[in-house]
Structure formats: structure tokens, C-alpha cells
Structure 1
Amino acid sequence: MFRGLLIGILVSAPMGPIGMLCIQRTLNRGRWPAFFTGVGAALSDLVYCLLTGLGLSFVTDFIESNQSILQVIGSVVLMIYAAYLFVANPSKALQPAAMHPNSYWKDFGTGFLFTFSNPLILFFIIGLFARFSFLAPEFKAYHYVGGYLSIFLGAILWWFGVTYFVNKVRRHFNIRSMWLLNRILAGVILIMGLFGFVTGLSELFF
């Protein structure tokens, strides 16, 4: 469950278009419309995690016998993503906000569709699954149920925290803060990737 919480937080944490949308809605319309937008994004992330898990569950024997190699590959994916996140403009892909939904369900729906339209997140999820050994032969069905629920909970906690924080500092929040947050997150992901890369190589050759 702890691994699931970490994966849920890390999948949601990079401040791409959905992050900018949630911050924009917090600043313009208040915390709760933005939070339900984040809930929709969290559900989309969970769907992609389930698709990833179902795809990899058929090759658990391969994962067991090649865990170190997968850890190295997953760590490389994380490092590449960290480099991209470090230099990316967090507001570049944000579409102009012309929509003003009248209900939380519409906020939820736009958050889900906004996130689901980016299937490249699968590569990031695969890297996280490999890095944290989320899929293992010794895990039972109830482990996975708890794990996937924890992923969803981790994502919910992230969006709850983001909307709470932005709402509290809304008078002082600007795009430079997003740049700083993106680079801090990139540094954390890079460190995790480097650690996994070194650990995987040491298991392969030593």
C-alpha cells in the first residue's frame, strides 16, 4: 500500500497541463471545482495503472527473472522524464480556459478526459512499477486491490494538498512558482532514478 501511495503521488505530481488547469480553477473559481478536476485526473491515472498492471501481469515470470534489468530500464525512463520535466514549460500545453462548468461532475469529467488524452503516461507508470517492484509473483489478489486503491488515494491526496495550498497562497501564486515546483519534482525523480539505476546495475554485475 505504501508503494501504491508513492506511485499515485508521483504520477500526479508533475505539473503539466492538468496541474495548470487545477491551479487555474483554484485561482478563478475556488478550491472544490479544482479538486474535483483532480479527482477526474486521478481516476484516469488509475485506469492507466490498471491497464499497465494487466498487461504486465501476464509476464510475471519474466519480471521475476529479469527484475534487475527492468529496474535499470525503469530508472532510465524516470531519469529521462526528470530531464524533460526540468526543462519543460508547465503552461505550454495548457489550452485556453473557456469552459466554466456549472457542476462538480463537469469538473470531474474534464479532468478525466484531459488526463486520459495523454497515453504517454503509460511509459512513466511502467517506469514507476518497475522501480518500486509493484508487480511481484508473491503478491496475492488482495495485495493488488489494496495497491491500486492506494494509487488512487495517493493521487487524491496530492490534488487535495495542491488545491489546499494554492487556495491558501492564491494572492502570491504565479507561474514562477510552477517552474520552481517542477524543478524540485524533477530533482526528486532524478535522484530516485539514479538510485534505482545504480542498484539495478550492482545486482546485475556484482
Structure 2
Amino acid sequence: MLSLSIIFKSIFIGFFTGFIASIPLGPSGLESINRSISHGFKEGYKVSLGAVSADIFYIIVINLGLLKILSHNQRFEGLFWIVSGFVLILFNKISKKTVSSNSNTRKLCTHHASNSFFTGFFITLLNPTTPSLWIAISGTVLSVWRLHGRLYYSFALCSMILGSISWFFILNFLAIKGVKMLKSDFSAKTSQILNYLLFILGIFFIILGLFKFIFRGGFI
């Protein structure tokens, strides 16, 4: 027999779990802010929706038990970090080419911005911290609702995704509003800072991946 109180509880807890879990700025969050500042709210939010789609993909993969390969193989995990680092650096270089005030570059910006959804999807998909996050959530919050039954689990999961989407909406909205309130050159400077942060993050991922692959993969 269905319990309305448990349904509302699963929706409430699921929503705020997804909302809070999305607050820490990862690579996709930085890129979504960058796109909102340089291309407008719509393109920045597309990055966020792509990131959420990658989260949904990982939720499905986790439920199928396929991430055991990643968690039990240090070499594979190391390669995953290295590939993620190179992807971030690649997107960083592309973003730098699109940031300019002349008309020719703006045309390139428009073309680049059209791929915002896939940018968010692949940055999140190849971010090695994403599966770790969802493994932790699936083993704690979601596991509780799984015990209550599939229906309650579905309510909690859908609410969690909605919470994540809501946070990214607020994030991109605040980013674009902040730019409008400040000086005109603030947009370009902020975009440059975000590009540097993504580049540094990419280098960090590569170094950590090499450490995992070499020192923890059995070569030394």
C-alpha cells in the first residue's frame, strides 16, 4: 500500500540531495558559467543539461554494476583520469579561441556555443570524480529508498535529478545577472580566469592519473 508521507519524504530528500550535491563547482560547472558569461544564459544552461545527462548515464551504469571495473582496476582508473585531463585541456584551448571582441571571432563563438550540450555531457562523463560521487550517493541515500521499493526509489531519483537541474538554473542565472551588473570588460576577464582554472584542473587530473597508473598500477 502506498504511503503519501513516504512519497513526499522521498521527493523532498531526493530534491535537496541532488541540489546540494551539485553545488561544488566541478569542470562542467565552471564551463557552464564560462558559457553563460561569454555566450548567454541559454548556452551556459545547455552545458548544465549536458552534465545532468551524463549524471543520469552514470546512475544507469551504476545500477547495472558496470562501474566495478573502474573501482577494482587501478590502471584503468589512472587512464580515466589522464584522458579526463587531456579533454579538459582540449576544451580549454577551444574556449580560448572563441573569446575575442572582433566580429570574426564572434562567428566562431556562435558555432562553438551550438555544441554546449555535448560539451557539458563529455566533460562530466569523462570527469573521474563523477562516478565516485554517484557511487557514494547510490550506496547511501538511494540505497535507503531502494529498500522501500521501486516506486519510492524512482520518486527519490527523479527528484534528485530535478534538484540538480534547479541548482544549475540558479547558478547560470546568477552568473549572467552578475555580469550585467558589473563593468563591460568583466565578462572577458572572468572567462579568462575560468579557462585558466580548467587548464590547471586538467593538468592536475593528468598528474594524478599518471600517479595512479604507474605507482598504484603495479609497475613500481
Q: Which moved more, 1:148-157 or 1:196-205?
A: 148-157
How high is the TM-score relative to the length of structure 2? 0.57
The aligned residue for residue 115 of structure 1 is 116
Residue 139 (structure 1) aligned with residue 139 (structure 2): yes
Deviations 1:81-102 (A, max 9, x none): 2322443213464228xxxxxx
Aligned mates of 2:23, 2:171 — CA distance in 1: 10
Looking at secondary structure, tell me which structure has more helix per residue.
2
How high is the TM-score relative to the length of structure 1? 0.60
Aligned mates of 2:28, 2:194 — CA distance in 1: 15
The aligned residue for residue 95 of structure 1 is 110
1:200–1:134 CA distance, 2 compared to 1 (3 A): farther
Aligned mates of 1:131, 1:47 — CA distance in 2: 12
**Structure 2: where are the runs of 5+ without partners?**
1-16, 100-104, 144-155
Aligned mates of 1:69, 1:150 — CA distance in 2: 34
RMSD: 3.9
1:166–1:131 CA distance, 2 compared to 1 (3 A): same
Matching residue's letter, 2:53:
V
Aligned mates of 1:3, 1:70 — CA distance in 2: 26
1:63–1:185 CA distance, 2 compared to 1 (3 A): closer
Residue 45 (structure 1) aligned with residue 30 (structure 2): no
SS in 1 for 2:31: coil
1:39 Cα deviation (Å)? 4.1
SS in 2 for 1:203: coil
**Contact 2:124/2:130 (<8 A) preserved:** no
Q: How does 1:20-169 map to 2 (within 5 A)?
A: 20=35, 22-25=37-40, 34=41, 38-58=44-64, 59-66=66-73, 68-88=74-94, 89-91=97-99, 93-95=108-110, 115-116=116-117, 118=118, 121-129=120-128, 133-136=132-135, 139-140=139-140, 142=142, 145=157, 148=161, 151-152=164-165, 155-156=168-169, 158-169=171-182
1:192 Cα deviation (Å)? 4.0
Count of aligned residue pairs for this structure pair: 176
1:130–1:164 CA distance, 2 compared to 1 (3 A): same
Aligned mates of 1:72, 1:165 — CA distance in 2: 38
**Structure 1: where are the runs of 5+ without partners?**
26-33, 97-110
1:132–1:200 CA distance, 2 compared to 1 (3 A): farther
The aligned residue for residue 185 of structure 2 is 172
**Contact 1:12/1:42 (<8 A) preserved:** yes
Aligned mates of 2:22, 2:36 — CA distance in 1: 25
The aligned residue for residue 211 of structure 2 is 198
1:71 Cα deviation (Å)? 2.6
1:5 Cα deviation (Å)? 3.7
1:192–1:54 CA distance, 2 compared to 1 (3 A): same
Q: Decide which structure has the larger Cα Rg and report it.
A: 2
